[in-house]
Structure 1
Amino acid sequence: MRRIDRTVSLPYWDSTLDFEMDNPANTILFSTEFLGNGYGFVTTGPFANWTTSQGQLRRNIAGGSRLMTRNAINLILTRCRTRQISRPTATATYDLELEHGGPHVWVGGQMQGLNTAAHDPIFFLHHAFIDNIWERFRVRQSSACGVNPSIDYPSATGQHAPNRIMDGIPEYRNIDGYSNYWTTNWFNYEPALSCPSCGASPYIRCNTARNVCVSIARTLVPQEGALVGGTLAFSPAETASSIDAVEARELEAILDVGPVFAAPPAEPRTQRGQMARMAEAARLGNASRP
């Protein structure tokens, strides 16, 4: 894209901003102004009625796993070698590939499957953020670890062998992707937002109690919310019971997405976490009956 137009930029989705909300399912990101609705068929926003090989694009946000967290990123950035943050040699605590799977599963729909994830344009925004984290890791390799990131290619064979020609880009080998050439000549990253200004965006606020930037909530419509204290909202305990979430799970169940990304366990605020609590409550209720 930069060869055609050097002014082109690709935004990254820093999903830690949404994770920090009381309920990430309420994020403004899944609204008409940004990426369109997050439940069922995508019918609003710039990707409305987007067609894929698996039919119309669909989502089921907050279905399972979790979004990226600042803590997970900070732990990854304590390591010095690529093999320590990549599979199959990374432990779960420092596994960037495992963490990257979280938003895939959290968005749901086509985005959760290895064969279909790139059908949702969110894929590219998410991967730009993963690459952002990797670049921060590479900078630290040079500055704090004494490691040359351009040659720190893990031992690999087959499709991931360092000298294998890249699919679709025959002028490059896999290891060429590790070159400093790209960020030196073609692109760099805007830094993460920080308090108190949070980029002066009307869609992001500073949580002064935790000193972190947090996405604001969108205005919900009746079928995607539940009444909480007399107000239409999504509490972290009630997302799964909304009309839209139930329908989104049904649409997701009939998708053929291939293998689902490996990802961290479902956090309590996801639909899967909520349904597990409801099932456990029902089990305990039945067990207490005479």
Structure 2
Amino acid sequence: MYTRRNQRNLTSSQRQRFVEAVVELKRTGAYEKYVTTHAQYFAADGETGQRVAHMAPSFFPWHRYFVLLFERDLQLLDSKITVPYWDWTVDRGKNAALWGPDFMGGDGRDSDGQVMTGPFAYRSGHWTITNGVTTERYLTRNMGRPSQPIALPTAAELDGALRTAVYDTAPWNSAPSTQGFRNKMEGWTVSPAKGGYLHNRVHQWVGGHMVSGTSPNDPVFWLHHSFMDLIWVRWQRRHPSSRYQPQRPLAGRDPEHGRVISSDEPMPPWGVRPSQIMDHRRFYTYE
């Protein structure tokens, strides 16, 4: 078992090693499978077929395993690496050290959103977008969305979602009537006053490639989802008697039958069941 750390506590050497491993994964082409897999399983409410990565109860376990696989690929390159987390309730501005030229790089420029600093800038020669939803070959960001300004979620807003004791509820999608912790945290319940619109708002705040189904094109995706996983851990500790929902496959008459993953059903594309990864301590812990 190993420890994931807050990105603000990494040494300069740890930041460098993480960046170098991510860049090397990109150079070999292995990084692209994460971009394309995330895009493939980003199925919305109105689409047909199974819904697993988003707008569904399996949002948390699916991304837990997704980040874990990425982490394992990095560890094949450097066994000391773990995926750090970005606590956006603390590091809330684009001047935070997270966005420094030695780590994630900065905001996109006004003219076209192109990230010009850091190791993931196109001009560095190490980071070309090959599987985006648009034609840009360079990484883009639009921090804070100046045309319609938004702020990163606060600690109070996060606590509002963590107080929700039920994991998820019917109709198990993104509808406002889905009032469980998962939907509030994922961010389809777009009422900050009710503890919602959190995960999605972070994607919107970063902007650029982070707002699409191919959001792993921006490496900050991993730091965001490492924190999302830690938030799930905190929720589990706060509500030890609460369980993943739904526990059993939905009945044939349920409108979401065949679309929603219950506790012991396999999550594509790996065949791992949510019940198999409920306890993160089998793999890692958090500082």
State the TM-score, normalized to the length of structure 2: 0.54
Equivalent position amino acid for 2:97 in 1: I
Pairwise CA distance, 1:117: 1.0
Residue pair 2:164, 2:180 contacting (<8 A) in 1 also: no
**1: CA distance between counterparts of 2:257 and 2:222?**
26
Q: 1:135 to 1:38 in 2, by over 3 A?
A: same
Residue pair 2:167, 2:245 contacting (<8 A) in 1 also: no
Is 1:26 the counterpart of 2:126 in the alignment? Answer: no
Equivalent of residue 161 in structure 1, options 261, 267, 272? 261
* Corresponding position of 1:121: 219
* Corresponding position of 2:286: 189
Equivalent of residue 9 in structure 1, options 82, 87, 98? 82
Gaps of 5+ in 2: 1-70, 188-197, 251-255
**1: CA distance between counterparts of 2:219 and 2:88?**
15
Q: 1:51 to 1:9 in 2, by over 3 A?
A: same
* Corresponding position of 1:100: 199
Is 1:65 the counterpart of 2:163 in the alignment? Answer: no
Instruction: Using the TM superposition, name which of 159-168 and 36-45 deviates more.
Output: 159-168
* Corresponding position of 1:176: 276
Q: 1:185 to 1:175 in 2, by over 3 A?
A: closer
**2: CA distance between counterparts of 1:13 and 1:86?**
26
Equivalent position amino acid for 1:166 in 2: M
Query: Please, what is the CA RMSD of the aligned residues?
Result: 3.0
Equivalent position amino acid for 2:285 in 1: N
Q: 1:189 to 1:86 in 2, by over 3 A?
A: farther
Residues 44-71 of structure 1 deviation map (CA, whole Å, 9 limit, x = unaligned): 2121212222321111111143312101
Equivalent of residue 90 in structure 1, options 161, 167, 179? 179
**1: CA distance between counterparts of 2:245 and 2:276?**
9
Pairwise CA distance, 1:87: 4.2
Equivalent position amino acid for 2:204 in 1: V
SS at match of 1:133: helix
Equivalent position amino acid for 1:184 in 2: R
**2: CA distance between counterparts of 1:111 and 1:43?**
16
**1: CA distance between counterparts of 2:258 and 2:88?**
32
Pairwise CA distance, 1:189: 1.3
**2: CA distance between counterparts of 1:45 and 1:161?**
39
Gaps of 5+ in 1: 191-290
SS at match of 1:8: coil
Residue pair 1:81, 1:152 contacting (<8 A) in 2 also: no
Residues 148-201 of structure 1 deviation map (CA, whole Å, 9 limit, x = unaligned): x3676596643432244322313x124434x22xx22211112xxxxxxxxxxx
Instruction: Using the TM superposition, name which of 42-51 and 121-130 deviates more.
Output: 42-51
* Corresponding position of 2:54: none
Residue pair 2:140, 2:208 contacting (<8 A) in 1 also: yes
**2: CA distance between counterparts of 1:66 and 1:91?**
23
Equivalent of residue 210 in structure 2, options 100, 105, 111? 111
Equivalent of residue 139 in structure 1, options 237, 241, 244? 237
Equivalent position amino acid for 1:125 in 2: L
State the TM-score, normalized to the length of structure 1: 0.53
Residues 70-125 of structure 1 deviation map (CA, whole Å, 9 limit, x = unaligned): 01111122121201698441279x81011100110000001012x22111111111
Q: 1:6 to 1:139 in 2, by over 3 A?
A: farther
Residues 115-155 of structure 1 deviation map (CA, whole Å, 9 limit, x = unaligned): 2211111111101111111110011111xxx33x3676596
Residues 32-52 of structure 1 deviation map (CA, whole Å, 9 limit, x = unaligned): 122112112123212121222
